Amino acid sequence: MNRRDFSLQTVAALLTGTLAACDQTPAQAAAPSVTKLPAQQAYGLAAKGQGFVTGPMMAANTVYVFFDTTCPHCAHLWEATQPLAGKVKIVWIPVGFLQPKSSTQGATILSAPDPKAAMTLNEQRLMARQGGITPAEGLSDAVLQKVKGNTALLLQIGSDSVPLIVFRNAKTGEYGTQAGAMDTAQFVQMVGL
pLDDT digits (tens, 9 = 90+) for 15-68: 334 445 666 543 333 344 456 789 999 999 999 999 999 999 888 889 999 999
Assessment of whether the complete model's pTM goes beyond 0.85: no
What pLDDT is recorded for position 90?
97
What pLDDT is recorded for position 187?
94
Pairing of strands 62-67, 89-94: parallel
- Fold designation for 3-191: Glutaredoxin (3.40.30)
Per mean pLDDT, which range of 8-12, 105-109, 117-121, 146-150 is the poorest?
A: 8-12
- Distance in angstroms (rounded) separating the CA atoms of residues 90 and 55: 6
- Distance in angstroms (rounded) separating the CA atoms of residues 182 and 133: 23
pLDDT digits (tens, 9 = 90+) for 141-192: 999 999 999 999 999 999 989 999 999 999 999 999 999 999 999 999 999 9
What pLDDT is recorded for position 21?
64
- Per-residue 3-state assignment (H helix, E strand, C coil) for 20-54: CCEECCHHHCCCCCCCCCCHHHHHHHHCCCCCEEE
